[in-house]
Amino acid sequence: MASLAPATYINDNVVHFAIRYLLTAPPPFGDDPGLHRARWEDIVAMDSLWFTEIQKRWQATPREAAWFSTSFTKNIDVFQRSYLIVPINDASHWNLILA
């Protein structure tokens, strides 16, 4: 709980927990048939360190970045999923890419 204290930066563990919780928690408004809720199998949630590593490796060589990306997702067919979630921490600010 110390990572949620006032005047404390949110770290990657909190972001990962929040994403996993939102993807697995029951709907907040009950089972509304009109509410679209993606299935867990349709979503790929990347680790926040993935993007940081891609950036570092891209500066070395794009080929190294591509190799790292494919090795990171070797057990996941990302093209068969409907959604991709990528949390990014840049200069102490969190961003979320939803694709």
Domain count, the chain: 1
pLDDT value, residue 66? 76
Q: Give SS3 for 89.
A: strand
Q: Which structural domain, as residue segments, surrounds residue 59?
A: 2-98
* Under-50 pLDDT residues of the chain: none
Q: Are 47 and 16 in contact (CB under 8 A)?
A: yes
Q: State phi, psi for 59 to the nearest 5 degrees.
A: -65, -30
* Per-residue model confidence as pLDDT tens digits over 29-42: 556 665 566 677 78
For the chain, how many helices (H) and strands (E)?
Answer: 3, 3
pLDDT value, residue 41? 77
pLDDT value, residue 29? 56
Strands 43-45 and 93-98: unpaired
Q: Give SS3 for 88.
A: strand
| pTM, to two decimals | 0.70
User: Which sign does the torsion angle of CA 26, 32, 35, 40 carry?
Assistant: positive
